[in-house]
Chains A and B, each alone.
Chain A
């Protein structure tokens, strides 16, 4: 039994912040940000909006896109949950009137959507659920240090969701095979040091801004390129596909230069690369569904997905694009 993608929906906050607006508070400028990252603006949620709010909006759109009123499970990929506990998925399931279905979060940061997709597909393959709503949702603006010009410019808020349901292996929309991996030995490269059980938030944490995300950008760049290239090759080999058979390449939208470096190494020509990082910045677990919705994918196109992020963790999968209307 395969898990088949039946619908896709997205949501972003109402307000976008341009590079010029950021440059008013930070020692940076539009040209620097664009040349280093490819980002021109990012959506930023108002303070009263939480991750579940964006997840609900994207989830509702995905259900409508799939013409589906009920699901057997909800999986939310996020690294910016509403609360430390409970998980975000039960809140989302309740607000979408999906009943008392199993609902849980997946924490794999920027690879979260691919991991959640694998979890949803696994539940379907195991007969645990027939239909699964898989959501990637983040409010990254709430964990970045607004005074850190190295990271504050990179991230944005948003959500994307898909509906998976049981189907045939060969049918359009069938997801997989997958390649997933992690390297916790390099967890320090991209980390929010405090606020978890390792270090409680106290005044010293707030002074140090240790409750915010820190990143070793250079090493993350290297690791991202290497891991996404390797993982893409593995998943293509598992699928029995040559890179020439990939119609569209949808990498995690962290940075235009990382995406180009990965695509070049894989031998994927420019017109086959999907990029919307210019408008959204890095939306972590939401980036892949947001890119899928923006890509103008045609039914029958072979799509390669690959992601990399904090953990370190990475994941890739392939699917033939189904005949759906993203909402």
Chain B
């Protein structure tokens, strides 16, 4: 499993996003996620990937691709990934 797969899993399982809507170029806005969802996403990423996205960083997040890159830069790892 890659960090992208994990992000996808979080979005589908915790936010009820349709699996086929999750694409690297999709933005949080495309997925109908609001500012509080972003905070909730940052919390979930911290819990499941062990890296902390600051509020400032969360505000800057645009596409899922950007998000995965940021998580990887911060050293996010997924078991078996």
Contact = CB atoms under 8 A, between A and B. Distances in A.
A36 B55 contact: no
Give the interface centre of A35, A36, A222, A257 by most chain B CB atoms within 10 Å. A222
A262 to B, nearest CB: 11
Interface residues of B, number: 9
B43 A257 contact: no
A35 B35 CA distance: 11
B43 A219 contact: no
B7 to A, nearest CB: 18
A168 interface: no
A198 interface: no
Contacts of B43: 222, 225-226, 261
- Interface residues on chain A, size class: 10 to 19
A216 B6 CA distance: 28
Nearest to B42: A222
Contacts of B42: 222
B39 A222 contact: yes
A218 interface: yes
B52 to A, nearest CB: 9
B60 interface: no
A226 B34 CA distance: 20
A216 B55 contact: yes
A225 B36 CA distance: 12
Interface in B23-79: 34-36, 39-40, 42-43, 55, 58
B55 A219 contact: yes
Interface string A33-62: 001100000000000000000000000000
Contacts of A219: 55
A35 B34 CA distance: 9
18 contacts: A35-B34, A36-B35, A36-B36, A218-B35, A218-B39, A218-B55, A218-B58, A219-B55, A221-B36, A221-B39, A221-B40, A222-B39, A222-B42, A222-B43, A226-B43, A257-B36, A261-B40, A261-B43
Interface of A: 35-36, 216, 218-219, 221-222, 225-226, 257, 261
Q: Which 4 A-B pairs have the closest CB atoms?
A: A218-B55, A218-B39, A221-B39, A222-B43
